[in-house]
Amino acid sequence: MEIGFIGLGKMGMNMVTRLQRDRHRVVVYDRSADLIKQAESVGCIGASSLADLVGQLKGPRAVWIMVPSGAPTEETVQAVAALLHPGDTVIDGGNTRFHDDVRRAGDLKKKQLNYVDAGTSGGIWGLKIGYCLMVGGDEAPVKQLTPIFTTLAPEQGWAHVGGVGAGHYVKMVHNGIEYSMMQGYAEGFELMAKSDYKLNLAKIADLWMHGSVVRSWLLELAAGALKEDPRLEQLKGYVQDSGEGRWMIADAIEKDVPVPTLTTALFTRFRSRQSESFAEKMSRADHGKRSRRRRDQSQLL
């Protein structure tokens, strides 16, 4: 199958490489000429501009966008849509909020263009093992793109989960669960690190990968990190978030669904970015005032 692909970051480059290996015709564009050359070295066809990319595709065209969420994705979708023809399809494979998918799909429908959202999980490891794809959109364009999804995903690794926005909605929940799992592992391993036993944490993480009910790919990654740096001394306890955990909490509030585990995990990430918390200073100040007051009262007695 033929596809246009915009965005050749770490994931994007691996995705076009995987597509090319399966003999798809892949026309690529990125703002970096060096990345375009790198993609060409694995067999992709480079484009000098968005217009050039669209011009090298035959209708009905399919263009996959894999750029940072927010303004970069918004601008790219609008720019590509202005170049496409009725019956063509835009696929957003980034981390877009599902509300934006619904809005964009409505705008593109006025131009008789299809919009498909593909929540993509797998990171830089996807080149080798494939990507889990959570796909949202109308049935016809999704069916048309089946060869692309089949190549990118491992066996049984993609599904059409619902209408427009459903793919990114499911990916949002997926990321929230990921935050919670990581927080659970982090707390458990910190307790073991501070136990009275001299525990080999890498060995335990690897042990749990064999038959334990808590085994997972995240645990496998943790085991690898602990083998390289048993006390994690080369890492800083500073954890970013993609924004999807925030979106999930907002949606949970709107639907009156309690998500305390995710909320704690996200707030712990916020705290990791503070060298000194104002709230903790306030607590210390209040404690100090009360302690001095008790001492003064005892002296009066």
Query: Which residues form the catalytic set?
Result: 171, 178
Residue partners of 133: CB distance under 8 A and separation at least 6 = 118, 119, 120, 121, 149, 152, 153, 157, 158, 159, 167
| Number of residues written out for the chain | 301
Find out whether 19 and 148 touch, Cβ atoms under 8 Å.
yes
Task: State the CB neighbour count (10 A cutoff) for residue 139.
Answer: 9
Instruction: Determine contact, residues 5/16, Cβ cutoff 8 Å.
Output: yes
Q: What CA–CA distance (Å, rounded) separates 246 from 267?
A: 10
CA distance 73 to 95: 9
